[in-house]
Each structure stands twice: as C-alpha cells, then as structure tokens.
Amino acid sequence: MKRIMRALRRCLAVTAVLAAAFSLPATDAFASPTAPASPTPVVGGKRAAQGEFPFMVRLSMGCGGALYTQQIVLTAAHCVDGSGANTSITATGGVVDLQSSSAIKVKSTKVLQAPGYNGKGKDWALIKLAKPINQPTLKIATTTAYNSGTFTIAGWGATREGGGQQRYLNKATVPFVNDADCKKAYGDDLVPGDEICAGYLDQGGVDTCQGDSGGPMFRMDDAGAWIQVGIVSWGNGCAEPGYPGVYSEVSTFAAAIAQAASNL
C-alpha cells in the first residue's frame, strides 16, 4: 500500500481533489495568471513558451502525457483504470494555456494499460484518441544511451504537495540520479531497470508533483531533437531533499510500447 500511495501522489487520484480541480469555474480551478510566480509548477520551474513542447498533452483525469503518435498518447499506467474501450478521457493539446481558445480537445476511444501492471514498475499506458492532434510527436528512447545528464520535465501540476492544478504549462530541469543513490532513498520500493531517478538529492527544490503523472521526462538526443527517457511516476513528497523523482524507464518498455501501439 505504501508504494501505491507514492505512485498516486503524482496524479489527482483522490476523488475529492480531482473534483475540486475540474468542477470549479475556470477562474478558480487553475492559478490566476497574476498569482505569485514563486514557487511555480513544475515545482521549482518556470512557464513554458507557447509551442516550446508541442507534444505535451493534458488529460482530463488529472494527468499529463506526450504524443507518441498524433493519435496515441503515452502516459502512466497508474493514471488509467485497466485496458479496453474508453471514451471518458479528454486530451487537451496544442497549447500552454489550458483556457486558450486554440486548445485542441479530443476524446479517447481505447486505453491500454501496461500488461502485468500491479502498482510497482511497468508504469506506462497508451490512450488512443478519436482523431489526431495535429502537433509534433515525441520519440521515445529505445536504448539506455540517453539515461544520463540533465532532463527536462514539464506539466500542469501543483506548485507544492497537495496544491492546486495550474492553468499554464511549466518546465524545469533535473539531473540524473544513479540507481544506487536512488535506492538509498527508496530501498526495495525502487525497481531498477523499470525505473530511472532524477532530481537534486542534497537540496531538493525542483520536481514534478500532483497532476504531473504520466508526463514525459526528456532531453536532447545526439541530433538535437527531443527524446523521451522517462514517464512521471512517483516519489516521496514533492521536491523534498534526499528524495528524487522516480520515472518509468522508457527504454525498458520501448519494444512493448511500439507493439501495443501498433495493435491499439
């Protein structure tokens, strides 16, 4: 149970929180554009520019995602409830501002949760959309070659643990944390090989938080293009010293994701 709660803290899994974020009027459900800028969500980040990360998608259950294809969103397994036909999810893309009149909103048709997912590892899922979102996609890492260095994280999640969701997409950068150091923080809860860690171990202060689950952790590849290395999964609190963020390691599941997408 401890592990499940850690995983869910990156999404709006608690019904009351989800209802509060999406049933309020637009002016209340998201932070005002004139609200204090510090801290910003992603925790310790700053607002992204329109078009900077066009592959980013906001999902109506309170998670993030990235366009794997223009009609398939890659997100976290803990954001969805099993596999099969599903028309209840709305994906919003093409904008930084969720209230923009230019926002592209598309309903889901099917969901595929990672086979064998049980709350520990294998934290990936695919959502097929009713029609394409005409935006650039984000390629995924197929080897561990990019599992190092500094990564970019982005999302519409909370400014702090337990905080409200945000109107504008925000971004931050976090450094790679090796398995040995991450395991010191999380012990046997960590699944090396399935998961990759990133964050500022000593000082904390920069991290994903509630509402960022399922969003991508990405970096530049050797050709200067964005490549997805991780999927926002879980962690202890938000941006706490000694506890890096834990992300599903995309390269581990790249072949399974590709196969699943081809059959979705």
> Confidence class of residue 207 from pLDDT cuts 50, 70 and 90?
confident
Domains of the chain listed by start with CATH number: 140-251 (2.40.10.10)
Give the active site residues: 78, 123, 213
108 and 58 in contact (C-beta within 8 Å)? no
Beta strands in 118-215 (DSSP E): 125-129, 139-140, 150-155, 170-177, 195-198
Tokens for 137, please give them: 């996609």
State the burial class of residue 142 (Cβ atoms within 10 Å of its Cβ: 0-12, 13-18, 19+): middle
* Residue whose structure tokens are 């993030």: 64
| DSSP-based three-state secondary structure for 3 | helix
What average pLDDT does the chain have? Answer: 86
In tens, the pLDDT along 232-259 reads: 999 998 989 999 999 999 999 999 999 9
The bridge status of strand 56-59 relative to strand 63-69 is antiparallel
Tokens for 68, please give them: 């794997």
In tens, the pLDDT along 138-153 reads: 999 999 999 999 999 9
Phi first, then psi, for residue 241 (nearest 5°) are -55, 140
